[in-house]
Amino acid sequence: TANQIYDRYHLPLIITENGLGQEDILTEEGTIHDDYRINYLETHIEQLELAIDDGVELFGYCPWSAIDLISTHEG
């Protein structure tokens, strides 16, 4: 998709809000085992590396951006 967008608009890209929403389970030790999230992000980053190799100008990747947690309904 990064290649398609870049080929269409010919503008540098920044990817934002690419996280994975999933209910986390807290263990008795107080940790969260989220291998699924790590795998999800690794796969996306690998694909972005391939897009860069193809010539896509990518200048940023943020799984969550600065405004993702701001709710338009709650201020």
Digitized pLDDT (tens) for each residue of the chain, 75 residues in all: 899 999 999 999 999 888 777 788 899 999 988 888 889 999 999 999 999 999 999 999 988 766 666 666 665
Catalytic one among 17, 42, 46, 57? 17
Q: Is residue 44 part of a domain?
A: yes
Q: Could you tell me which residues come within 8 angstroms of residue 57 by beta carbon, excluding any fewer than 6 positions away?
A: 6, 11, 12, 13
Q: Would you state the pLDDT for residue 47?
A: 96
Q: Is residue 26 part of a domain?
A: no
Q: Is residue 13 part of a domain?
A: yes
Locate 20 and state its tokens: 């994975």
Residue 17 annotated among the catalytic residues of the structure? yes
Q: Is residue 58 part of a domain?
A: yes
User: Could you list the residue range(s) of the whole structural domain that residue 37 is in?
Assistant: 2-19+32-62
Its pTM stands at 0.75
The neighbour count for residue 47, using CB atoms within 10 Å, is 13
Q: Is residue 46 part of a domain?
A: yes
Between CA 48 and CA 39 the distance in angstroms is 14
Number of domains comprising the chain: 1
Is the Cβ–Cβ distance between 12 and 56 less than 8 Å?
no
End-to-end CA distance of the chain: 33
Q: Would you state the pLDDT for residue 45?
A: 95
